[in-house]
Structure 1
C-alpha cells in the first residue's frame, strides 16, 4: 500500500513539476527585447542579430559575427534593411 501511494505522489510531483517548467519557459520566450534602432541593438550585439546560423550577408564583408536568435531577429525585423535575415550587421 505504501509503495502505491509513494508512486502516485512521485508521479504527481513530476507532472506538476514539468508543467510548471513548461509554462515558465514559454513565458521567458515571449519576453524578447525590441530595440529602437541599430545603434541601440549594436550596443548589446556588435555583429547584429541573425535569424539562423545558415543565413549569408548580402552587404559584403562584416567586421563582427552576428548573434543567432530567431525570436530576437523577429522582434527587430524592421532593422533588417537589406532583407538578408541579419538585422543591424556590422
Structure 2
C-alpha cells in the first residue's frame, strides 16, 4: 500500500512540475520588443518605466509612462538617457 501511494505521489509531482514549467516559459514570451520608439509610443504614449518611483531626467513630459519591469527590460535599448524610462514623451 505504501509503495502504491509513493508511486502515485511521485507521478503527481512530476506531472505538476511539467505543467508549471510551461506556464513560466509562456509568461516570458508574452513581452513584446519594439523596433523603435515610434512603434513603442503607438501602444504606450508616455513610454515604459521600469518602476513607478523613477524620475525623468530628460525634462518635462506630456504623458505618464506605463510601468512594467518586463516590458522595460525587453526594450532597454530605447532608453537613451538611462533614466529607466524608455521612449518617454
Given the two structures, how large is their TM-score scaled by the length of structure 1? Answer: 0.74
Provide the rounded CA distance (Å) in 1 between the counterparts of 2:63 and 2:17: 39
Deviations 1:8-52 (A, max 9, x none): x8xx87x95686256324422233111111000000000000011
Quote the offset at 1:62 in angstroms.
0.8
Partner of 1:47: 46
- RMSD, matched Cα: 2.5
Which secondary structure does the structure 2 equivalent of 1:36 belong to?
A: coil
Q: Which runs of 5+ in 1 are unaligned?
A: 1-8
Given the two structures, how large is their TM-score scaled by the length of structure 2? Answer: 0.74
Provide the rounded CA distance (Å) in 1 between the counterparts of 2:67 and 2:77: 16
Partner of 1:20: 19
